[in-house]
A and B are shown apart, each in its own frame.
Chain A
Amino acid sequence: MNPLPGSIDAPRCSLAGLREGARLTLPLLPGVVVFASGFGTLAAQKGLSLAEAMLMSSIVFAGAAQLVVTEAWTQSFTVGALLAVALVTATVNMRYVLMAASLRPWFGQLPTWQGYGSMLLVVDANWIIAMRYRADGGADVGIFLGSSLMLWAFFVAGTAPGYLLGALVADPKRFGLDLLLPIFFAAMLVPMWRGARTALPWMVAGGSALLIAYLVPGWWFIVGGAIAGSLAAGLVDEQR
């Protein structure tokens, strides 16, 4: 792999880096635990077992996709339903393609298995932390790994209390638990605001989703609306 232009060192992984990555992640942990608990609560309401919910958090490790798929959970899946699960997961997580791609110039210098292995841990938070550190000229992959391990541990562990709480609630509607998904997503959306240019894809996505929801049964409105919004972002001119 070609190293980045400029005088950035070859990648290395140090204990100090692991610790620094973990430290940089601390401010994000309350949000991670709230999100994981929200998923746990939803999982309990939709009939997943605690073990299934924690398995999902530990091997899928993608909060937004877990919320969406769990919202439409069933106890037995046809081949078609499994395809839908794969498609929804892929759509919600398509951004990982871009995030992993942007880490290539740095992690591509590692031995192959280490580079690819690291990518299995990519989520939004550790990617942002790693990219900021890299932009400041750092090369220690320990930053990324320390942050990843911290996020993973708290995300998996945080699933349990939410699940146990959710399993206690007999009347989910009365406690607003049927609206957990939009409530969590609204909280996610606010920090993504980058001025008016973010509004157009969101409006296109929301509008098309509304239309699709009226026309097509099931949860296809999320995939359809998301693709419409993304296309809108692609069509908007650069200078906007």
Chain B
Amino acid sequence: MFGPIVAILVMATAAHLLRLGGFWLMGRVPLTRRVRRMLDALLGAVVAAAIVPIVAKAGIPAVLAIATVVVIMAARRNEFLAVSGGIAAVVLARGAGL
């Protein structure tokens, strides 16, 4: 068994290997347009994959929170307002017994 510090070091190693690896790779292996497209789409896919099951499990307060965040971000592009609005939506919805 390993402690939290080891896990943090593992994360750092994984993240930095990708940063160094991409730099190393360029010029040795051709990055095709298809591979570029896949890597481009990956972060959005991670985010979508994380949101949907968690929201489905947490129910109506989570749906209201996500909707609030998306509306505020689309209208104002302000992370602080959006996140605060999302939290407020959860608190209000749960307070109302939803």
Taking Cβ atoms with an 8 Å cutoff, the residues of A that contact B are 1, 30-31, 34-35, 38, 48-49, 52, 55-56, 59-62, 64-66, 68-69, 73, 75-79, 81-82, 85-86, 89-105, 107-108, 115-116, 119-120, 122, 124, 173-192, 198, 201-210, 212-213, 221-234, 236, 238
What's the least CB distance linking A24 to chain B, in Å? 17
Contact A226 B49 (CB under 8 A): yes
Known contacts A52-B5, A222-B46: A209-B36 contact under CB 8 Å: no
Taking Cβ atoms with an 8 Å cutoff, the residues of B that contact A are 1-27, 31, 33-58, 61-62, 65-66, 69-70, 73-74, 77-80, 82-83, 86-91, 94
Contact B61 A176 (CB under 8 A): yes
Among residues of A, the one whose C-beta sits closest to the C-beta of B35 is A234
Known contacts A34-B80, A187-B82: A234-B38 contact under CB 8 Å: yes
Given contacts A52-B8, A209-B49, 19 further A-B contacts (CB under 8 A): A59-B9, A82-B10, A89-B10, A95-B42, A100-B23, A176-B87, A176-B89, A179-B65, A181-B50, A184-B83, A190-B69, A201-B41, A201-B44, A205-B45, A209-B53, A210-B52, A213-B57, A226-B49, A238-B33
In Å, the complex CA distance between A108 and B17 comes to 17
User: Looking at the complex, which one of B1, B69, B78 makes contact with A76 (CB distance below 8 Å)?
Assistant: B1
In Å, the complex CA distance between A82 and B14 comes to 11
Known contacts A207-B52, A229-B41: A108-B8 contact under CB 8 Å: no
Which chain B positions have C-beta within 8 A of A192? 43-44, 47
Among residues of B, the one whose C-beta sits closest to the C-beta of A214 is B53
Which chain A positions have C-beta within 8 A of B86? 176, 179, 183, 186-187
Contact B26 A101 (CB under 8 A): yes
In Å, the complex CA distance between A122 and B12 comes to 13
What's the least CB distance linking A159 to chain B, in Å? 13
In Å, the complex CA distance between A68 and B17 comes to 19
Contact B53 A229 (CB under 8 A): no
What's the least CB distance linking A176 to chain B, in Å? 3
In Å, the complex CA distance between A205 and B39 comes to 14
Known contacts A48-B4, A68-B50, A209-B53: A183-B83 contact under CB 8 Å: yes
What's the least CB distance linking B70 to chain A, in Å? 6
User: Looking at the complex, which one of B18, B48, B89 makes contact with A205 (CB distance below 8 Å)?
Assistant: B48
Contact A234 B34 (CB under 8 A): yes
In Å, the complex CA distance between A99 and B45 comes to 17
In Å, the complex CA distance between A75 and B6 comes to 11
In Å, the complex CA distance between A95 and B36 comes to 9
Among residues of A, the one whose C-beta sits closest to the C-beta of B56 is A210
Which chain A positions have C-beta within 8 A of B26? 100-102, 104-105, 108
What would be 17 A-B contacts, judged by CB atoms less than 8 Å apart? A60-B8, A62-B15, A82-B10, A89-B11, A91-B42, A95-B42, A99-B22, A176-B90, A176-B91, A180-B87, A189-B51, A190-B73, A198-B44, A205-B49, A234-B34, A234-B38, A238-B33
In Å, the complex CA distance between A180 and B58 comes to 12
